[in-house]
Structure 1
Amino acid sequence: MEQVEQNKSVFLNTSLIATTGVLAAAVFWGTSFGVAKESMLYTGVLMFLVIRFCCTLLVIFPFVVKKLNRQVWRQLAPTGGVLSVIYLAESYGLKYTAASNAAFLISLFIIFTPAVDALFNRHKLTVTDLFAGCIAIAGVWLLVGDSLNTVTFNIGNILILIAALGRAAFVVTTKKKMNKQHCDPMVATFIQLSVVTAVCIGLLIFTVPADQFIIPSAPEFWLYISYLVIFCTLFAFYFQNYGVKHTSPTQVSFLLGLEPVFGGLFAHWWLGEQFEQLQWVGAGMIVLAAMFISFRPKKYSPI
């Protein structure tokens, strides 16, 4: 009897740690939009991405060096190409739209994923998917529109929507690849981010004049980079995987679905960004649609 109580206590503690960790990951990912936007005031987008991911790879490398092999690289490298598109679109999009807008628009990947999954795996969308999609589209209309009758998509909003679509493709393709080739999620993250880093270095060399290679010396910039590397990448990815293992995928999806809420609140508090009343309604509809999708049974879990 005592052993049963002890096991129950361990389970509850593990579940509490997992829930708290995933919620913290949602907070960190939400704040990452504002922090990244501030970081890019010190240097160009490509240099920012190169510095961010080189630092991330240096931290991860000691944990995965003995697990890397050529077969896993071949299998997962293409998903790194998809991730490159996501980060490039997301980072350039942040330069031209509000961090709060980006946080809410990027959450549309939860709505896009069933459609991408249906396209890749050749099955029909459910009524639930279509209903959530309609709510999300109406939410986007209110979020980025000047009024109920007009919608103005600037280049920043368009790039963030491309990033959201890329996230959906990334979830589906990574899941498919990892089903074929089982590997440690940290190894997969290292390989994917290695491809992103290589793409960004290549673009930096061939598209940016050498005299514009600016490595900032400001302490604030390096504090931002440290925050993004430690909390928004390592901590958040670890607890996302920990949460999937020790709680239900639905609970993880629900908690991560709060990411845009924290992103919007952080941008409002730290960057002073303001929403009109209709924009708050639109943002709420996007979150509602994401939550609705999260609570239905699905064939994939967040990556």
Structure 2
Amino acid sequence: MALTVQRKADLALIMVVMFWGTSNLLTKVGLGDLNEFNLIALRFVIAFILTSVIFRKRLMAVDFGTVKRAAVLSLILFCVFIFATFGVRHTTVSNAGFLTCLSGIIVPMINFAFFRIKQDRLTVISIAMAIVGVWLLIAGTSITFNLGDILCILCSVAFAVHILVTERLTRQVDSVALGVIQLGFVGVYATTFSFVLETPTLPVSFSNWMVVLGLSVFSTAIAFVTQTVAQKYTTATHTGIIFTFEPLFSVIVAYIFLGEVLSFRGYVGAILMLASLMLIELKSQFGKVVSR
């Protein structure tokens, strides 16, 4: 059976989440050598240079409207990474992975509260399953709240806003150019803050250079351009639910590199989250027949 455009977009977003599932671990390692704004600046400047070279022809055709939209998106994204990076500094990789995924729950809530967009029954069931799954994962790791946890929750709120704004702005302009310029703006903001509030440096070891490059190429350049393009062909609700799967990939990375193992409740939560994704994808394929 041929894949629909929306299904391809959803699969692309799953790839993005896989990259982001490793980013908290890489960020934690990178912060051992660099300050927060310094790390964000390197991450986004390198990502912008890479993507601007790849998509240089599309950037040459950019109009002022695209630049304005990118400026709006980049301010929101910068807030996302301020909360996320400082959050990872003050909490564990596992906590950060779990709490930053709350955007999947917040997106439909914002849609309903501010735009009066009602969610169908199957979507509500999928969201409920994802909520229970996240809770079981959290309970399975005995999470305790601290400053880092609060910052990660604020990251989720900011990212939910970013998802919704991206969905609206990408339908009016070249989504690739919008995504690339967005990276450049965040790099400029972070570099400015780093020079004002910190003493900018470069990584001192080969391993930390690999961390920065991993964050720049996979978790930033590929991920955010893919997200920007894919969201043009799917919905904010689908995007939000798919993004709740970031903790699963964080768990896999933690198991491979740190030897961490989930509790029984954690595995039940993981299964529920996977089931919620299957349910929302089933709705996408069969539409009204399934939702009856």
Normalised-by-shorter TM-score class = 0.7 to 0.9
Provide the rounded CA distance (Å) in 2 between the counterparts of 1:249 and 1:125.
12
Matching residue of 2:288? none
Task: Report matched runs for 1:5-44 at 5 Å.
Answer: 24-44=15-35
Provide the rounded CA distance (Å) in 2 between the counterparts of 1:288 and 1:153.
28
Query: Aligned pair in 2 of structure 1 residues 24, 133: CA closer, same or farther (>3 Å)?
Result: closer
* Equivalent of residue 97 in structure 1, options 91, 96, 101: 91
Q: Which shows bigger deviation, 152-161 or 232-241?
A: 232-241
CA contact (8 A) 2:34 2:201 kept: yes
CA contact (8 A) 2:133 2:268 kept: yes
Matching residue of 2:287? none
What is the CA-CA distance between 1:21 and the residue it aligns to? 5.9
Matching residue of 2:218? 231
Provide the rounded CA distance (Å) in 2 between the counterparts of 1:94 and 1:288.
28
The question of 1:160 aligning with 2:152 is answered: yes
Query: Aligned pair in 2 of structure 1 residues 157, 221: CA closer, same or farther (>3 Å)?
Result: same
TM-score by length of structure 1 reads: 0.74
CA contact (8 A) 2:166 2:231 kept: no
What is the CA-CA distance between 1:54 and the residue it aligns to? 0.9
Matching residue of 2:290? none
Paired residue secondary structure (1:112): helix
Query: Aligned pair in 2 of structure 1 residues 256, 158: CA closer, same or farther (>3 Å)?
Result: closer
Query: Aligned pair in 2 of structure 1 residues 146, 266: CA closer, same or farther (>3 Å)?
Result: closer
State the AA in 2 paired with 1:222: W
Provide the rounded CA distance (Å) in 1 between the counterparts of 2:216 and 2:151.
23
* Equivalent of residue 77 in structure 1, options 71, 82, 88: 71
Paired residue secondary structure (1:108): helix
What is the CA-CA distance between 1:159 and the residue it aligns to? 1.8
Paired residue secondary structure (1:153): coil
Paired residue secondary structure (2:160): helix
State the AA in 2 paired with 1:183: V
Provide the rounded CA distance (Å) in 1 between the counterparts of 2:155 and 2:244.
16
Q: Which runs of 5+ in 2 are unaligned?
A: 285-292
Paired residue secondary structure (1:183): coil
* Equivalent of residue 87 in structure 1, options 77, 81, 85: 81
Query: Aligned pair in 2 of structure 1 residues 127, 155: CA closer, same or farther (>3 Å)?
Result: farther
Provide the rounded CA distance (Å) in 1 between the counterparts of 2:243 and 2:138.
23
Query: Aligned pair in 2 of structure 1 residues 104, 287: CA closer, same or farther (>3 Å)?
Result: farther
Provide the rounded CA distance (Å) in 2 between the counterparts of 1:24 and 1:177.
22
Task: Report matched runs for 1:80-229 at 5 Å.
Answer: 80-128=74-122, 130-145=124-139, 152-179=144-171, 182-208=172-198, 210=199, 213-229=200-216
Aligned residues: 278
What is the CA-CA distance between 1:283 and the residue it aligns to? 4.9
Matching residue of 1:261? 248
Q: Which shows bigger deviation, 72-81 or 151-160?
A: 151-160
What is the CA-CA distance between 1:230 and the residue it aligns to? 2.0
CA contact (8 A) 1:114 1:129 kept: no
Provide the rounded CA distance (Å) in 2 between the counterparts of 1:56 and 1:110.
25
Provide the rounded CA distance (Å) in 2 between the counterparts of 1:170 and 1:19.
17
TM-score by length of structure 2 reads: 0.76
Provide the rounded CA distance (Å) in 2 between the counterparts of 1:87 and 1:291.
29
CA contact (8 A) 1:108 1:136 kept: no
Query: Aligned pair in 2 of structure 1 residues 167, 284: CA closer, same or farther (>3 Å)?
Result: farther
Provide the rounded CA distance (Å) in 2 between the counterparts of 1:23 and 1:203.
32
Q: Which runs of 5+ in 1 are unaligned?
A: 1-7, 298-303
Provide the rounded CA distance (Å) in 2 between the counterparts of 1:238 and 1:80.
13
Q: Which shows bigger deviation, 183-192 or 117-126?
A: 117-126
What is the CA RMSD across the aligned residues, in angstroms?
3.7
Paired residue secondary structure (1:152): coil
